Each structure stands twice: as structure tokens, then as C-alpha cells.
Amino acid sequence: MMIESIPITVEVNGTIQRLKVMPHHSLAVVIREQLGLLGTKISCGEGECGACTVILDGKAVNSCMVLAVEADGCSVLTIEGLAKNGELHPIQTAFIEEGAVQCGFCTPGMVMSTKALLDENPEPEEEQIREALAGNLCRCTGYHRIINAVHAAARKSSVHSGETK
């Protein structure tokens, strides 16, 4: 028995994509393998590490846990969609300035979770930051600098209101 691909239409980083996907492929696999957006990392494949975090219709999700067919008609933002006109997003800048980028494997997921948090709550308390990032694991244990980077990004976005959106 041959498995047929399924057509979907999804907006990725502001561009409409018409794709044919296998019904068992995760959104993470399609983002990486069909769209070539390699910033979305695949690590655990079980929704435990957060390396594959993207923003789906405004919410941070582990894209390894979302079937690509479930994203039909949705909007997806990946790490590649944050920078505009060659300028890093304030969150990306804050991560660099605060030294929150070590091996870099977890960074895209951390940045995307941070974006979703700051879109919802532009001035989060530390406990809210920790809760928002609880699903993102850092193998280098750089959590202190990551928390500092989220605080810095919140300050940057309050100075440049509207830039986190």
C-alpha cells in the first residue's frame, strides 16, 4: 500500500507555501527538509527539548509534535523569519549581547519561545520567563544568561515598541 502525499497551504515567515506532505511528517521535518529552513532543530522528536520551537498562529509550539497537515491554513514563524532587512530582531540582539548563545543548538527554540512570551507579555517577571522557557532545554546549562537575555529583550522592545510583533 502506497501512502499518498497531502496538499497543504501554509504561510511560513510571511510567504504562502503550497506543499505536498506525507501524512505522518511533522511540521519540523517539512520546515527543514522541504523548505530548507534549518534553524528549526530536530533533537528529541518527542516534544521534550524545545529545539524545534516555532510560532504557529501566534503560539509557541514544538513543531516535532505537530503534524504538517495540521498546519494547513495556518501561519508559521521560524527563526529565519525574525530578522528584517538584514537587521537582527531585538530578541536575537539581546541573546548575543548577553552571551546567551553557547553551542547554539537550543538558541532558535529559546528565541522563538521568548518571542511568543514577549508578544503576549512585554514586561514579564522572572518566574513568567522561567515558565515560558520551561519546555526548552539548554545542554550547555546557560540558563542564567538566557534569562538575562529575555529581560534585556523586554527592555529593548519597550524602547522600540512594536518591534517584537
pLDDT digits (tens, 9 = 90+) for 144-165: 999 999 999 999 877 555 444 4
Question: Which of the listed CATH numbers 3.10.20.30, 3.20.20.60, 3.30.9.10, 3.40.50.300 matches domain 6-81?
Answer: 3.10.20.30
Q: Does domain 90-159 fall into CATH 3.40.50.300?
A: no
Mean pLDDT of the chain: 94
Q: State phi, psi for 128 to the nearest 5 degrees.
A: -65, -35
Q: Locate CATH 3.10.20.30 in the chain.
A: 6-81
Model confidence, pTM: 0.93
pLDDT digits (tens, 9 = 90+) for 22-32: 999 999 999 99
